[in-house]
Structure 1
């Protein structure tokens, strides 16, 4: 898997961004929000964990899930001119809605035990009628989601349990989703099939 190429933060609206998105299925926009906003978000997330940022002995679990966060710094992070310009370019002007919260956050920590959530999966975006709570579904037209955003509020290397993205997997997924029609299927059902297709 080749590493993503960083995108200059001062001019995301170019043909290269669209070409990369179409070819790879994602783009990375460095500097999409100011470092001070990232630091505020990180501090709020640390508070939610109950862990001491300066004391690794307090980091008891391999992963802590923090639900959606709607404080000001998170709204600021997702609503920068750079990101809005990228959303317009990738989803189309007036084809997306501003968000004022972010999450859920899987916060990973060094630990002797492997977390039980580290496998490949596909993101769900809606709950069809009658579906159990939390059993989000995906369909071919990506109902209720134009783009999936992944935000990093600290420096991350391969040694820091980063989220992995399969470059080009967006080209394999449609044939998995097509048989499910408009109803789609849950991320649990689709995960192994998508894993096998890419």
Structure 2
């Protein structure tokens, strides 16, 4: 993994909005996590006929396999490189956890969206959580593959470069930004972007800019898809204005987007 870290293309992250890290954690860790999740799934693991819903949403997980998957020294160095040394907090829980199954039913959560990062007036109303141009509270969106994911296994759709369009949109909304639902309602007005699929072997991690537009898909494969999507939370606020040097790639992408608009 250390060689992969050396080869992380920060310019590609700025332009595309994500980087992929293969073998970020082991299949042993992924398998242990799947075993824990199956204990909470109301289906028979050995009987596909019992998999009657397209998605099961599970709660927060703090058991060791989940913590190990995203808390290695090597990943910490990547977080420092992308977000900024000392600006992020280690991820100590993994949730919520959507597990996707092959099903004749269409899932009801496949719309384009950007994950929100701070609460609105009612913290318990998650569709009203908000996101602003400084990405208050969130440094990265992380997609952790706990099972092998092919193009048939409901891979997350990523719109390459869409984080730049979202930054320009949010710049008009001030410190309060937009709610999750308000922003989702505006995403179809943004320029068309090339799509990518978050595929890979178990142990792969996609580290995404917090503004990257993404969406779930229906599962057309044969085995359940296990993927976590936790945030990398910020310890310090992002800096997007001031001198022209010293910005992390997450910050530089926002600055580039806003400079292009102005």
SS of the counterpart of 1:181?
Answer: coil
Per-residue CA deviations over 1:33-74 (Å, capped at 9, x if unaligned) read 111111111111222212222211111101111122111111
8 Å contact 2:8–2:19 — kept in the other structure?
no
In the other structure, the counterpart of 2:22 is 30
Residue 166 (str. 1) matches residue 159 (str. 2): yes
- Aligned twin of 2:72: 80
Partner Cα separation in structure 2 for residue 16 and residue 76 of structure 1: 21
How many residues of Structure 1 are paired with residues of Structure 2 in the alignment? Answer: 190
Q: What are the ranges of 5 or more consecutive residues in structure 1 without an aligned counterpart?
A: 1-8
The residue number in structure 2 matching 1:43 is: 35
Q: In proportion to residue count, which structure has more strand?
A: 2
Aligned twin of 2:82: 90
Change (3 A) 1:17 1:68: farther
Structure that is richer in helix per residue: 1
Q: Paired residue for 1:53?
A: 45
1:67 matches 2:49:
no
**Contact map agreement 1:74 1:102 (CA 8 A) in 2:** yes
How far apart are 1:102 and its partner, in Å? Answer: 1.1
SS state of the match for residue 173, structure 2? helix
| Runs of 4+ in structure 1 over 6 Å off | none
Ranked by relative contact order (alpha carbons within 8 Å, sequence separation 6 or more), the top structure is: 2
Partners in 1 of 2:103 and 2:23 — Cα distance?
A: 30
Q: What do residues 83-108 of structure 1 show as CA deviations (whole Å, max 9, x unaligned)?
A: 11110110111111111111211111
CA deviation vs aligned residue, 1:98-142 (integer Å, no higher than 9, x gap): 111112111111111211101111111110334652122111110
Residue of 146, 167, 186 corresponding to 2:139: 146
Structure 2: state its 5+ residue gaps: 192-262
Superposition deviation, residue 196 in structure 1? 2.4
What is the TM-score with the length of structure 2 in the denominator?
0.69
Matched-pair contact (CA < 8 Å) for 1:12–1:86: no
Provide the aligned C-alpha RMSD in A: 1.5
